[in-house]
Amino acid sequence: MAALLLATGNAAAQGTVPEELPPIREALNIGISSAEIAIVPDFSGTDVTVFGAIENVDPALLAAGGYDVVVALEGPRERITMRRKERVAGVWINRHSVVFEAMPESYSMTSTRDLTQIASDLELSTHSVGLPRARILPTSFSGRAEEVALYRDAFLKLKTESRLYQENPGGVKFVSSSLFAATIHIPADIPNGRHVIRAYLFKEGRFFDEKQLEMNVVKTGLEEAITAAAFDQPLLYGLFAVLMAVLTGWTGSLMFRRD
């Protein structure tokens, strides 16, 4: 009987399959050098450093260039209206317009390399990485549908020329086996308000993880007082502006009048 129990126990032990542990997954962590940017009257732009680390990184895959990081700074979102002028009876007037859904007022992006080398267009668009043209969609449009692309290109051109939309492929650098740093330039006319920093991790061309932080841009001193008055007390602000214009014109006439 004892021999039978021992044999049964051995058979049960041999039939036990050890549970497989889940594979260790890489994770992304980020930080920022400054969570608030103060806009002063002589502000001419600055740089913000985003630093981070990839946990559970595979050293061999990292050495082979299998990991990519994209870091983007998105400004406050608002509806953008683009208008097109046409000449009617010798006068240039706005004939057609297009309203794009909430778009970031500013967008600065940097990455380990060019986005086209990191992942496919479908992968980037699926996870809203970068600013593909396909995601600039109109909510209303007065004109011919085939002309939407013209307004979209004009919108991107204006933002790019003003440096409010900018890209810097290769700006993300690995400083050690798993640590990286990215420098994002803040233009002089960056919009006031809440900004979002998003970091994306790609592994062998596939989206893997995302982290985000908030950054505030605030005006200080005289600019803050003027902005607050314009939004909080528009009537008094308008009256004061008219009064200052009248006083300036009257003072100028006194200074330069001829007797």
Q: State both tokens at 32.
A: 């920022």
Residue 65 has pLDDT above 90, yes or no: no
- What is the structure's pLDDT at 5? 44
Tell me the per-residue pLDDT of 191-231, one tens digit each, with 9 for 90 and over.
888 999 999 999 999 999 999 999 998 877 555 556 655 65
Residue 85 has pLDDT above 80, yes or no: no
β 77-88/138-142 pair status: unpaired
Residue 256 has pLDDT above 80, yes or no: no
Mean pLDDT of the chain: 79
Residue 75 has pLDDT above 80, yes or no: yes
- What is the structure's pLDDT at 1? 44
Q: What share of the chain is helix, strand, coil (3-state, %, to 5)?
A: 30, 40, 25
Q: What is the CATH number of domain 23-75+104-218?
A: 2.60.40.3880
β 107-111/36-39 pair status: unpaired
**Dihedrals φ, ψ of 104, to 5°?**
-65, 135
Question: Of 11-25, 82-96, 125-139, 175-189, which has the strongest mean pLDDT?
Answer: 175-189
Residue extents of the structural domains in the chain: 23-75+104-218
Given phi > 0 = left and psi -120 to 50 = alpha, else beta, which region is 9?
alpha
Q: Can you tell me the distance from the alpha carbon of 132 to that of 6, in angstroms, rounded to the nearest whole number?
A: 68
* Over residues 232-246, mean pLDDT: 72
Tell me the per-residue pLDDT of 16-52, one tens digit each, with 9 for 90 and over.
555 554 566 888 999 998 888 888 777 888 888 999 9
